Amino acid sequence: MSRLDVVRPEFVEYVPTELEEGVLYISIRYSTTVHKCPCGCGSKITLPINPAQWRLMFDGETVSLWPSVGNWSYPCQSHYWIEQNRIEWAARWSPEKIAQNRTRDRSTRERYLKSRCGSSVAVPNDRGSHRGVLDRIRGLFRR
């Protein structure tokens, strides 16, 4: 499979077991999106939609995600934006830049969770970021 340049949004309540190439599954109920990595590696990419992680824009026909998607925990380490159903490929990042980004993202998530919960909350590290959103949320409540 070669690199994709477009995705097709599909609004679902539950994400199907078998993911179709080039489809961005969007569950409003669970505030999440799931898609196969558009580089062709076949990895399942799960993105939580919330102010501290990704924002989803839908104009009635196309979708955009912000910020970019950096698949740093996967061998492909693909980096791209989804803008009006188009995949805009970004340059590969160095390990140092990835580490800086992870630190910044962790701080953003901690501030967001603190504002929502009113207290200090432990945020899982990025090593398990390929796990599903529900697994990560369950992990927060086990601490």
Do 19 and 78 lie in a common domain?
A: yes
* pLDDT for res 124: 53
* pLDDT for res 131: 46
What is the domain count for the chain?
A: 2
Domain coverage including residue 79: 8-89
Cα–Cα distance, 44 to 36 (Å, whole number): 5
Cα–Cα distance, 40 to 2 (Å, whole number): 5
* pLDDT for res 72: 86
Domain-embedded: residue 1: no
Q: Which residues of the chain have pLDDT under 50?
A: 126-131, 143
Do 38 and 78 lie in a common domain?
A: yes
Do 79 and 122 lie in a common domain?
A: no
Do 50 and 35 lie in a common domain?
A: yes
Q: Of 97, 95, 121, 96, whose CA–CA distance to 109 is shortest?
A: 121
Do 83 and 39 lie in a common domain?
A: yes
Burial class (CB in 10 A: 0-12, 13-18, 19+), 119: exposed
